[in-house]
C-alpha cells in the first residue's frame, strides 16, 4: 500500500516536468509527511490539456453521504480496480498522476514497534504514482478526490511490504492519462527492482503531525 509520502519539488518545476498548466490553489510544499485526507498534487487531463491541481487524497464514491460515509479509500488495488464499484468507472475515464519525492512503509521489530522506511527513486528526483480521481459533490461544493493505484511488490520491495504503488516513467504518462489511446491496464505493474531504494528513518514520522526535512534523513546506526 501507500499510506504516507513526501513531495519537495517546486510548483513551477512540476508544471514544467509534466507539461501541465498549474492551478492557482496548490498545496504547500515542501511537505515531508503527506497523510490521507490531505490535499495532494495531481496531474490530469481536462479539455485536452494537462493540469496540475489539488485533490483530496481519499477517493469519495458518489454514493457516500459524507466524507466519512464509508471506508477511507486512499489506495486502489490494480488487480481489482476494474471490477470494484468505487473505482471501475474512474479507472476507464478518470486517471491521474500523483507526484512524490518518496514514500514511507513500515516493518516491525521483535517487540512489535513500528520501524519506518523511506523509499525514493534511484533515477531522477520524482516518482509519478498512477492514480484515479472522482468528483464528489455535497451542498453545492465539489471536492476532487483521488486514490493511488497499488500492486504486488517486486522481490526487493517485498522485504518491507507486500504492496507498492504503481509508478510510471515519463514515456508512460500519456498512455495512463488517456492521451495515447487504450492500453493503460498494461501499466499497472511493479517497477523494476533497481528503480527505487530504501533506508530506515527516524520513528518520529510515525506521527502524522511530524514535519520537516529530517523525516527523510537516514537513521544513524
Domain that includes residue 71, residue range: 5-216
- The model's pLDDT over 169-182, given as tens digits with 9 standing for 90+, comes to 999 999 999 999 99
Q: Which of 2, 91, 96, 146 is catalytic?
A: 2
Q: Report pTM.
A: 0.97
- pLDDT, residue 220, reads 78
Cα-based angle 67, 72, 77 (whole degrees, multiple of 5)? 135
Annotation says 2 is catalytic: yes
Q: Is residue 191 part of a domain?
A: yes
Residue ranges in the chain whose pLDDT is less than 70: 221
Residues 6+ apart with CB under 8 A from 156: 193, 196
Q: Are 179 and 172 in contact (CB under 8 A)?
A: no
Q: Is residue 81 part of a domain?
A: yes
Q: Is residue 221 part of a domain?
A: no
* Whole-angstrom distance, CA of residue 221 vs CA of residue 104: 19
- pLDDT, residue 76, reads 98
Cα-based angle 107, 113, 114 (whole degrees, multiple of 5)? 40
Q: Are 183 and 175 in contact (CB under 8 A)?
A: yes
Q: Is residue 75 part of a domain?
A: yes
- pLDDT, residue 1, reads 73
Pairing of strands 75-77, 95-100: unpaired
Q: Which of 91, 96, 105, 146 is catalytic?
A: 105
Number of domains in the chain: 1
CATH of the domain at 57: 3.90.1680.10
- The model's pLDDT over 122-170, given as tens digits with 9 standing for 90+, comes to 998 899 999 999 999 988 899 999 999 999 999 999 999 999 999 999 9
Annotation says 111 is catalytic: no
Q: Is residue 44 part of a domain?
A: yes
Pairing of strands 127-138, 95-100: antiparallel
- pLDDT, residue 221, reads 67
- pLDDT, residue 115, reads 96
Amino acid at each position: 500500500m501507500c499510506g504516507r509520502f513526501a513531495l519537495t519539488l517546486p510548483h513551477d518545476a512540476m508544471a514544467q516536468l509534466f507539461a501541465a498548466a498549474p492551478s492557482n490553489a496548490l498545496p504547500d510544499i515542501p511537505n515531508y509527511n503527506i497523510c490521507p485526507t490531505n490535499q495532494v498534487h495531481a496531474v490530469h487531463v481536462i479539455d485536452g490539456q494537462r493540469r496540475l491541481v489539488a485533490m483530496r487524497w481519499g477517493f469519495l464514491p458518489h454514493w457516500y453521504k459524507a466524507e466519512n460515509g464509508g471506508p477511507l479509500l486512499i489506495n486502489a488495488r490494480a488487480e481489482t480496480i476494474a471490477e470494484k464499484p468505487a473505482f471501475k468507472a474512474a479507472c476507464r475515464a478518470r486517471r491521474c498522476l500523483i507526484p512524490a519525492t518518496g514514500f514511507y512503509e513500515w516493518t516491525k521489530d521483535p517487540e512489535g514497534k513500528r520501524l519506518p522506511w523511506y523509499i525514493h527513486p534511484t533515477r531522477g528526483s520524482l516518482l509519478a504514482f498512477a492514480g484515479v480521481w472522482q468528483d464528489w459533490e455535497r451542498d453545492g461544493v465539489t471536492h476532487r478526490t483521488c486514490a493511488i493505484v497499488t500492486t504486488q511488490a517486486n522481490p526487493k520491495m517485498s522485504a518491507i511490504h507486500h504492496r507498492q504503488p504503481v509508478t510510471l516513467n515519463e514515456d508512460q504518462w500519456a498512455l495512463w492519462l488517456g492521451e495515447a489511446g487504450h492500453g493503460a491496464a498494461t501499466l499497472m505493474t511493479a517497477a523494476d527492482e533497481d528503480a527505487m531504494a530504501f533506508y530506515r528513518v527516524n520513528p518520529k514520522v510515525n506521527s502524522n503531525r511530524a514535519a520537516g526535512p529530517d523525516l527523510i534523513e537516514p537513521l544513524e546506526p
